[in-house]
Chains A and B, each alone.
Chain A
Amino acid sequence: MKKTAKRSKPAQILRKEAQLHLMVLPAVLLVLIFSYFPLYGLKIAFQRFLPAKGLFGSQRFVGLDNFKYVLSLPNFLPVLRNTFIIAGAKIVLNLLVPVTVALMLNEVNSSRIKRPIQTIIYFPHFLSWIIFGGILIDLLSPSSGIVNKIITALGGKAVYFLGDNRYFRGTVILTDVWKNFGYGTIVYLAAITGIDVTLYEAAQIDGANRWQQTWHVTLPGIRMTVVLMMVLALGRVLNAGFDQLYNLCKPIVYESGDILDTFVYRLGLENGSFGPATAVGLFRSVVSLVFISTAYAVAYKWFDYRLF
């Protein structure tokens, strides 16, 4: 009796939950096709891949040749360096600037001043890099851009921000911060709102002034959020921002602005070297996987961060 009950249990459960499985099915199929199939496609990294034969055609296995080929390319290491520098600077600044601005916003008592400022600084985040890039190209143009008009009016020399290797990286990093800092403050403002009011009252009774309150109450109060955001940002260590750089980086500034993602694009889809391009992509995926899973594991363990 007991035995039959046990045996029928999984089948019973399955029948009872069949509808639920059916509801998940469309999404599962789509993810299988468009996310898991490409993982199978990573085998291209080990093949002399002829696109005409397709993903399932018989391709020649070449072992690590594609990786060796990529490493022999003279611009691979500079590209890697650019990626790390740009991504690293973005990670740091996209943390520091929003935290600072959130603290500044928190000091504004009048919501009649605070709200419009928030509304305006969130806005650039919602534009694509095509639109924002188009605006930047216009603003920063050495001949007609308003920024250089101001610089020359003040007696300086026009700067080709997007076409000079000395300035390009800085321009890319700062414009990224410009686009995203406002949006980044949302999380920290929410964290500040969540701080227990009685802590401030206690600090005041102890004679703490505003700076001391900010230093000893507000900052410790959002510490967890800041560290959590930092940990999650580490997953982007090889993600220097394809959308931005593909649109802003011209051949004259490849030396300082060519990154892994743009490199893969040109190698694969412009030169047709599918194998080597996939090899670089695989390298990037593996490194990112290590960083992202470490980040999630740390966030899970130390900060009780639960995605679902």
Chain B
Amino acid sequence: MTGNTARKKRYVNPGRIAFQSVNITLLVLLAAICLLPFIHVIAVSLSNNAYIDAGMITFWPMGTNVQSYGYLLDKAAFWNAFRMSVFRLVLGTAINLILLCLTAYPLSKPKGKFHGRTFYAWFFFVTMLVNGGLIPNYMVVSTLKLRNTIWALVLPTAVQVYDLILMLNFFRQVPGELEDAALIDGASHFRTMLEIYVPVSMPAIATMTLFCMVYHWNQWFDGMLYMDNVNLRPLQTFLRQTLIGQDYTFADGDEIAAFAEINDRSLRCAQIIIATIPILCSYPFLQRYFVKGIIVGSVKG
């Protein structure tokens, strides 16, 4: 930043101004490419069917109405899936965070204070290198009779190793004197973690919370894989059927009949918007903390 201002003063010449204009124009175009599709989707979700079918909607709704949203409000299956998603998100994130704190605390200790550290670190790290893959994972969850229970969604995803590494790096920054003082006062490790490490690491925990929440909100595959009972499927899995399951423009007659109830672009767009609202609401925090998290995670030191 300071480098930029220092450099700015010396090179104000016509070439520079031309470059800046081109550069900024290109960047604005890139941003537009990222933003306009959403504006279009919002516009379609709020528009009248006649205009949509005529292909007249660009970035502003025509014949504005909230019928699609009204229809969705009445659609029990959609809200049922929405509730499943929220339930999964709350339970899943809670489990993630408890395990993160519990596990990152011992692993953040130097080798001399926790002799098992290296072993455990490798134990977790190995799972980043190898995994059993689809079928064995599926068989394990099936064998444990977790299918069609919420546990199939929150237990296999309970330990997020990448987040664990970030968390233990955050915990390492806690001054050791704080811990020594607490331990001398007779506090257990568990209490030291809970009463010293967790309070001073609140920004890190906020980051982790957001990581986990976005992760759970966006997961769809496990819901499809493990939930045969469609009533138990979370929103993203539910939306797969309505948004992706058919492209009715090229589908055959049977499929059109099957999706007759929802073959409405406006309705699909409304579902996209509702499913995006939670991400949009948390986005100001997301941007701030994700940026911090990713920098700590990738280019630390």
Interface residues, chain A, with chain B CB atoms under 8 Å away: 13, 17, 19-21, 23-24, 26-28, 30-31, 33-42, 44, 51, 54-56, 101, 104-109, 113, 116-124, 126-131, 133-135, 137-139, 141-144, 146, 149, 160, 162-163, 178, 182, 186-187, 190-191, 193-195, 197, 200-201, 204, 209-210, 213, 225, 228-229, 242-243, 246-248, 250, 261, 264-265, 268-269, 274, 277-278, 281-282, 284-285, 288-289, 292-293, 296, 304, 306-308
Bitwise interface map of B from 1 to 25 toward A, beta carbon under 8 Å scored 1, else 0: 1111111101100001001100110
B114 and A20 within 8 A (CB): yes
| Interface presence of B58 (CB below 8 A) | yes
Question: What are 27 A-B contacts with C-beta separation under 8 Å?
Answer: A17-B114, A17-B115, A23-B103, A24-B103, A34-B141, A35-B131, A37-B132, A39-B130, A41-B139, A42-B132, A104-B26, A107-B19, A119-B287, A120-B31, A122-B290, A126-B279, A129-B220, A131-B272, A134-B272, A178-B34, A190-B295, A250-B247, A264-B134, A281-B136, A288-B130, A289-B130, A304-B301
Say yes or no: A31 contacts B124, CB within 8 Å.
yes
B212 interface residue (CB < 8 Å to A): no
The CA of A264 and the CA of B260, in the complex, are separated in Å by 31
The interface size bin for chain B is: 35 or more
User: Are A34 and B247 neighbours in the complex by a CB distance under 8 Å?
Assistant: no
Contacts of A142 in B (CB 8 A): 249-250
Whole-angstrom CA separation of A182 from B286 in the bound complex: 14
**Is there an interface contact between A31 and B133, defined as CB atoms closer than 8 Å?**
no
A30–B99 CB distance below 8 A: yes
Chain B: CB-nearest residue to A217: B3
Given A20-B189, A308-B121, 10 more pairs with CB closer than 8 A:
A19-B189, A20-B116, A113-B24, A120-B34, A126-B279, A130-B239, A134-B243, A138-B41, A281-B134, A289-B130
Q: Which of A27, A55, A250, A304 has the most CB of B within 10 A?
A: A27
- Interchain nearest-CB distance for A260 vs B (Å): 10
Is the pair B140, A41 in contact by a Cβ cutoff of 8 Å?
Answer: yes
A-chain residues with CB within 8 Å of residue B202 when the two chains form the complex: none
Complex contacts, B299 vs chain A, CB 8 Å: 187, 190-191, 194, 225, 228
Contact A247 B8, beta carbon cutoff 8 Å: no
Kindly list chain A residues whose C-beta atoms are within 8 Å of the C-beta of B138.
268-269
For chain B, residues 117 to 171, give those with C-beta under 8 angstroms from any C-beta of chain A.
120-121, 123-125, 127-144, 155-156, 158-159, 161, 164-165, 168-169
Are A187 and B2 in touch, CB under 8 angstroms? no
Q: Which of A20, A144, A187 has the most CB of B within 10 A?
A: A20
Smallest CB separation, A12 vs chain B (Å): 11
| Contact present for A55 and B107 (CB under 8 Å) | no
Hey, which chain A residues are within 8 Å of B188, CB to CB? 19
Q: Contact mask B37-55 → A, CB, 8 Å, 1/0?
A: 1101100100000001101
A93 to B74: give the CA distance in the assembly, Å. 44
Closest to A39 in B: B132
- Nearest CB in chain B to that of A148: its residue: B55
Q: Within the complex, which residue of A122, A135, A146, A242 is in contact with B38, where a contact is CB–CB below 8 Å?
A: A135
Report the separation of the CA atoms of residues A26 and B169 in the bound assembly, to the nearest whole angstrom. Answer: 20
B250 touches A38 (CB 8 A): no
* Chain B residues, Cβ within 8 Å of A268: 134-135, 138
Residues of A near B58 (CB, < 8 A) are 146
On whether the beta carbons of A293 and B243 are closer than 8 Å, the reply is no
Please determine whether A28 and B123 come into contact, CB atoms closer than 8 angstroms.
yes
Complex: A298 Cα to B127 Cα, angstroms: 19
* Chain A neighbourhood of B189, CB < 8 A: 19-20, 23
Q: A19-B189, A120-B31, A144-B249 are in contact. Are A281 and B135 (CB under 8 A)?
A: yes
Q: Could you tell me the distance between the alpha carbons of A135 and B271 in the complex, rounded to whole angstroms?
A: 11
A153 to B175, CA, bound (A): 64
Q: Does B93 contact A (CB under 8 A)?
A: no
What's the nearest-Cβ distance from chain A to residue B296, in Å?
A: 10
Decide yes or no whether B82 CB sits under 8 A from chain A.
no
Contact digits for B271-301, partner A, Cβ 8 Å, 1 yes 0 no: 1100110010001001100110011001101
- Cα A31 to Cα B155 in complex, Å, equals 9
CB proximity of A192 to chain B, nearest CB, Å: 9
User: Which 7 residue pairs spanning A and B have beta carbons closest together?
Assistant: A38-B132, A41-B136, A281-B133, A134-B243, A128-B218, A38-B136, A20-B106
Within 8 Å CB of A139, what residues of B? 37, 40
| Distance between A158 CB and nearest chain B CB, rounded to angstroms | 11
> Which listed residue (B30, B38, B283, B290) contacts A121, Cβ 8 A?
B30
Residues of chain B with a CB closer than 8 A to A281's CB: 132-136
What distance in Å separates the Cβ of B229 from its nearest Cβ neighbour in chain A? Answer: 17
Q: Which of B30-80 contact A (CB under 8 A)?
A: 30-31, 33-35, 37-38, 40-41, 44, 52-53, 55, 57-58
Q: Which of B156, B243, B265 contacts A130 (CB 8 A)?
A: B243
* CB closest residue in chain B, given A34: B156
By the criterion CB–CB under 8 Å, are A278 and B31 in contact? no
Contact A186 B30 (CB under 8 A): no
Docked complex Cα distance between A250 and B249 (Å): 13
Known: A55-B139, A186-B291. A137 touches B247 (CB 8 A): yes
